Amino acid sequence: MGCLALGLWIHYRQVVSAVYRTAEEQALAGLTAGTNELLTAVGRLEPPDVAAGSASWEKVRHLFPLQRTLPGLQVDVVDPQWRVLAQLPTPHHDSPPSKSPPSESPPSKSPPSKSETLTWAVPPKNLDRNAESIRGLLVQPDGRHVALARRLGKHGDYLVAHYPLAQVNMTPAALLTALPAAGAITWVWVSALLLIAVYMIVIRFCDGLTKKHARAETTALTRTQSLLRTREAVIFGLARLAESRDRVTGSHLERISAYASRLARAAQHHARYADLITAEFVQLIGTSSALHDIGKVGIEDAILFKPGALTKDEHQRVKQHTTIGEACLLEIERRLGTSNFLQMARQIARLHHERWDGQGYPDGLAGEQVPLAARIVAIADVYEALSSRRVYKEAFSHQQCVRMIRDQAGKQFDPDLVEVFAEVEGAFRQIACQFRDEAPPSRQCVPERIPLWEDQLYDELATAAAGCEDWSVPIGSASQ
């Protein structure tokens, strides 16, 4: 509204200015046409000296009443300093020319005061150049007058014809010619102001929208982070429930997660895995690996904690914890929808006991048929089992664990991943120290025999490391 009001005011001023200019031009044109004959006749007088009291002066006085002049026309004789020397009488333009002899013409006004001086509104450019003719505006007590001055005589006096600008009758055509230019200027001005106003409004709106989106994104990010923390808490809770079935205590899940994440992050720099392992992959495997043994909750206590040797059928039943874990996660996925996290968790739960040579279970996959995430968790799980204290065994040293895993490259484990593991084995040692259990498990909880189903790990690694003099598996008794 302010822009429009300002634009309308400017439009009014432009129209008034344009009308005045047009009126001035029209008045000057009319004055020139109306007095040209009179001034020309005065210029032909001999001698051309119209000083008051001269013969030419008398001729001029008798010549003016014979002319039809403009309404309100005034004719003054002025000196070069534009001081009025005399004023000539002029009849109304509608009055018939006087038939009386010159001697009977109306007497002239009394000579004006020498202090009366004509003042130009805007000094003409050629005012000081002794021009024969000058056009412009005079400032008079009754307003502005359009004026036409003609030089007279050798003394440099001027005969000035002028009449009020207010008495100019503008034609509609002349008025209309003044409006387009004013309208164009006003349109440009109002458009510019409106554009600025619209720009400021749009910028303010966009800033508000940006802030609103930022707040929404912050809220969404906070909620997402909260959901992720809740998800991880639930995952670790389920995983710990599953691990409690075989009496694994302490920071087992934290170590598994850290081992898998560190190995995956190191494999990113291996030429073979650079295009397969992303930052998201590393993050997902750190969480998904905690669910690798969730299927243990489906194994009967009679088998899981059987003190004696397992039968062949019981051994096969224990191996089913991989498929039970996959089925459990698949059911969750059906209810919640497919996600990268659940897909990876299912792969790890089912296939982390597969071997590179195809001798693993449950599907007997070999080589790269085993998903990369499952191959990574297989190494992390074995290192954790070897390096951790259990109720039925002491922990192996870090050097022993590294040697045993390297001996299984190309057999139980992906040889390239074992190579990566060897490069970051120091980080595994640090993780084991960071999350080490504070106190050894109570001997009161030692079962009468080792659960023989534990990954077939000890028999296989014991055979591979039979030549190592520092190999020992301290367990409950000699018979065990």
Asked whether the whole model's pTM tops 0.85, one would answer: no
Residue 110 has pLDDT above 90, yes or no: no
| Residue 276, pLDDT above cutoff 70 | yes
Q: What is the DSSP string of 417-471?
A: HHHHHHHSHHHHHHHHHHT--SSPPPGGG--SS--TTSTTHHHHHHHHTTT-TT-
Q: What is the pLDDT of residue 463?
A: 45
Any idea which fold 247-464 has?
Answer: Hypothetical protein af1432 (1.10.3210)
317 or 31, greater pLDDT = 317
* pLDDT at residue 149, as a whole number: 84
CATH classification number, 2-173, choose in 1.20.120, 3.40.50, 1.10.760, 3.30.450: 3.30.450
Which range among 431-435, 446-450, 457-461 shows the weakest confidence by mean pLDDT? 446-450
Across the range 23-29, mean pLDDT stands at 77
Q: Is the distance from CB of 126 to CB of 134 less than 8 angstroms? A: yes
Whether residue 298 has pLDDT greater than 80: yes
**What's residue 372's pLDDT?**
95
Q: Flag the least confident range among 144-158, 193-207, 260-274.
A: 144-158
Contact 464/408 with Cβ under 8 angstroms?
yes
Which of 61-65, 161-165, 199-203 ranks highest by mean pLDDT? 199-203
Half-sphere exposure of 325 (CA within 13 A, CB side): 33
Residue 462 has pLDDT above 70, yes or no: no
pLDDT digits (tens, 9 = 90+) for 230-250: 767 777 677 766 666 655 555
339, 333 in Cβ contact below 8 A? yes
Per-range mean pLDDT, top range of 67-76, 136-145, 470-479: 136-145
More confident residue, 394 or 385: 385
Show me where the domains of the chain are located: 2-173, 247-464
Q: What is residue 140's predicted lDDT score, i.e. its pLDDT?
A: 85
CA-CA-CA-CA torsion sign (65, 69, 73, 79): negative
Question: Rounded mean pLDDT of the chain?
Answer: 75
Core vs surface per residue 66-81: b (16+ CB within 10 A) or e? ebebbeebbbbbbeee
Sign of the Cα torsion 219, 225, 231, 234 reads negative
